[in-house]
Each structure stands twice: as structure tokens, then as C-alpha cells.
């Protein structure tokens, strides 16, 4: 059974050493108390993270104020190590102190790929027939998105060329609409895959025998499709788009994660991942 929660938050402006805020000090004593609420979805809207950091310094708060800063959240256990649950940028107006009894709590809101989503623009012009791969390469070049998994193998070409000038998110909407794909951003990287497929990654197992299932899975509907909701101990790499397997009394099989949420605190209460998926 996992032992000893760890929550670590790293924040840095690109090219700087940055600052690390940890719930455990190097000598093993308790560090900063940290609450987290993280939501990823297989949708174009950026994933969201809300942190509450207790009794940190003004200098620490200032590190989060730039919307170009990178915020990385790692969670896990002392005997298993941590994994990255979120990477993103602070949102404008999303960093401020709140008073909670005797505590001074820093509220931080960040979005996965949020800065590129808010301000990214492209100006693309191809007057003759062009492949989907070439159009995508140009969008990537202009936005500087790192590539995640991209499936363009059977994508139809743009027979009349392709012209677009405007927000990158709108260009991507138009692009995937033409080739019957969907796009989303995960850990700052751009994914373009068939809506019927999961990302080609190893499926984690959620089961009582595996020691990570919390309670019993529930039947839900996701966009009018029958699906499943699973509560479990945090699992490394569990993000939207990933396949997962469930073994329980009422559910057995593989699913595709449409929504993944992490909820918890470094000191007590919840510490879990919530996965909502549809049959694969």
C-alpha cells in the first residue's frame, strides 16, 4: 500500500532556475501544505489546475504572477515517487492571496497550454492542393506547439489549397473538421487523433486486486454515450485520451479516458484520480 503523500509544485520563467515548493522538506519533515484540483479533458479547451499553497512568501507568490511562467505539479507517495499531474501557465488574474483563519493562502489558477490557446495566431496560405501533413506542419511551426500523438495517416488533402489568418485555435478547429479528427492539448503538447481511438499508450489497470480502486465504478453518460466513472489512487500518466482497464464486480474491460481529474491535499482528506471514459 502506498505510504506518505507528496505534492510538489515547480514554477519558473522559461530559461530560469525557478522555484520548488514541496509538501515534504529534504529532512523528511512536513513542508508547505498544498491542495490541488486538476482537470483534463479530451477537448480543445485547456486543462485547468487550481492550487492552494499555505503560508508561502511574497517572493514565492511573485514567481507565479507571469503568464509566461511554467507551472508543473507532481504528486505521489514517498515509497513510489512522484509523477507529473499537470503542466501549464498561470492565467491572468488567477494568482492572489486569501485569508483563511490564521493562514494566508495563495490561490493559483493555471491552464494546460493556456497561453498559446489565448494568444496564438497563424497566417497560412497555400493556393494549390496540399497535404494535411504540410498544413499541420506549418501550423505547428507558427505556434511552436510541441507535438504529442498526431494521426494524419489517412487524412484527405486540401484539394483547393488552404488559407487561414486568425487565432490558432480556430485554425485547428477548421483543420480537424476537414480531416475528421479532434485536437486537444496535454502537458503543453498538441494531439490530433481520430475521435474513435485512444492515444497509443499502455492502459493502466484499476482493480481491487491491484490495490488502487476506491469504491465501485459508476455508470455515467458522456456526450450521450454510456460510460463509466472510476475513483482510484493516483496513477502515473493517467490523462485524457489514454486507454485504461477496469476489473470489478460489475465492470470488466477497456475504456478510453474522456475526462481525468486529480483531487487532493498533501496532508489529509482526498488524494485520488477520477477517470470518466467510454468503452473502447
**Given pLDDT bands bounded at 50, 70 and 90, which one contains residue 88?**
very high
For 218-256, the pLDDT digits (tens) are 999 998 899 999 999 999 989 999 999 999 999 999 999
Q: Mapping DSSP to helix (H, G, I), strand (E, B) and coil, where does residue 133 land?
A: helix
Q: Mapping DSSP to helix (H, G, I), strand (E, B) and coil, where does residue 249 land?
A: coil
d(CA 99, CA 102): 7
Question: What value does the mean pLDDT take over residues 65-70?
Answer: 93
Q: Nearest 10 degrees: CA dihedral of 209, 212, 218, 222?
A: -130
d(CA 20, CA 119): 27
Whether 154 has a pLDDT exceeding 50, the answer reads yes
**Given pLDDT bands bounded at 50, 70 and 90, which one contains residue 268?**
confident
For 92-150, the pLDDT digits (tens) are 999 999 999 999 999 999 999 888 999 999 999 999 999 999 999 999 999 999 999 99
Q: Mapping DSSP to helix (H, G, I), strand (E, B) and coil, where does residue 175 land?
A: helix
d(CA 31, CA 21): 8
**For the chain, what is the radius of gyration of the CA atoms?**
20
Whose grid coordinates read 492552494?
A: 52
Q: Nearest 10 degrees: CA dihedral of 8, 11, 16, 17?
A: -20
Question: What does the pLDDT read at residue 28?
Answer: 86
Q: Provide the grid cell at 256.
A: 478510453
**Given pLDDT bands bounded at 50, 70 and 90, which one contains residue 2?**
low
Q: Mapping DSSP to helix (H, G, I), strand (E, B) and coil, where does residue 90 land?
A: strand
Closest CA to 239 of 20, 84, 80, 56: 84
- Which residues are within 8 A (CB) of 38 and not within 5 positions of it... i.e. 6 or more apart? 47, 48, 49, 50, 73, 85, 86, 261, 262, 263
Whether 160 has a pLDDT exceeding 90, the answer reads yes
**Given pLDDT bands bounded at 50, 70 and 90, which one contains residue 75?**
very high
For 8-65, the pLDDT digits (tens) are 999 998 888 899 999 999 888 899 999 999 999 999 999 999 999 999 999 999 999 9
Whether 77 has a pLDDT exceeding 80, the answer reads yes
Q: Is the dihedral of CA 212, 195, 261, 57 positive or negative?
A: positive
Question: What value does the mean pLDDT take over residues 173-196?
Answer: 93
d(CA 135, CA 137): 5
User: Phi/psi zone of residue 93: left (φ > 0), alpha (ψ -120 to 50 degrees), beta?
Assistant: left
**Given pLDDT bands bounded at 50, 70 and 90, which one contains residue 1?**
very low
Q: Provide the grid cell at 227.
A: 460510460
d(CA 127, CA 55): 58
Question: What does the pLDDT read at residue 247?
Answer: 95
- Which residues are within 8 A (CB) of 271 and not within 5 positions of it... i.e. 6 or more apart? 5, 75, 233, 234, 263, 264, 265
Amino acid at each position: 500500500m502506498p505510504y506518505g503523500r507528496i505534492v510538489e509544485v515547480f514554477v519558473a520563467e522559461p530559461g530560469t532556475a525557478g522555484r520548488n515548493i514541496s509538501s515534504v522538506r529534504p529532512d523528511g519533515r512536513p513542508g508547505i501544505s498544498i491542495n490541488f484540483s486538476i482537470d483534463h479533458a479530451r477537448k480543445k479547451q485547456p486543462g485547468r489546475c487550481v492550487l492552494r499553497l499555505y503560508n508561502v512568501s511574497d517572493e514565492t507568490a511573485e514567481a507565479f504572477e507571469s503568464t509566461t511562467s511554467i507551472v508543473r505539479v507532481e504528486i505521489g507517495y514517498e515509497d513510489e515517487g512522484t509523477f507529473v499531474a499537470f503542466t501549464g501557465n498561470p492565467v491572468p488574474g488567477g494568482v492572489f492571496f486569501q485569508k483563511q483563519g490564521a493562514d494566508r493562502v495563495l490561490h493559483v489558477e493555471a491552464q494546460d497550454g493556456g497561453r498559446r490557446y489565448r494568444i496564438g495566431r497563424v497566417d497560412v496560405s497555400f493556393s494549390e492542393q496540399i497535404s494535411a501533413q504540410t498544413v499541420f506542419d506549418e501550423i505547428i511551426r507558427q505556434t511552436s506547439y510541441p507535438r504529442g500523438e498526431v494521426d494524419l495517416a489517412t487524412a484527405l488533402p486540401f484539394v483547393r489549397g488552404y488559407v487561414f489568418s486568425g487565432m490558432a485555435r480556430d485554425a485547428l478547429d477548421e483543420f480537424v473538421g476537414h480531416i475528421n479528427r479532434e485536437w486537444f492539448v496535454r502537458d503543453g503538447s498538441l494531439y490530433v487523433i481520430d475521435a474513435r481511438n485512444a492515444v497509443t499508450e499502455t492502459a493502466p489497470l484499476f482493480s481491487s486486486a491491484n490495490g488502487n480502486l476506491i469504491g465501485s465504478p459508476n455508470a455515467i453518460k458522456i456526450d450521450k454515450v454510456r460510460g463509466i466513472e472510476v475513483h482510484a489512487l493516483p496513477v502515473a500518466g493517467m490523462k485524457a485520451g489514454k486507454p485504461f482497464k477496469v476489473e470489478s464486480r460489475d465492470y470488466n474491460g477497456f475504456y478510453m479516458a474522456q475526462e481525468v481529474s486529480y483531487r487532493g491535499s498533501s496532508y489529509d482528506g482526498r488524494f485520488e484520480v477520477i477517470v470518466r471514459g467510454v468503452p473502447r
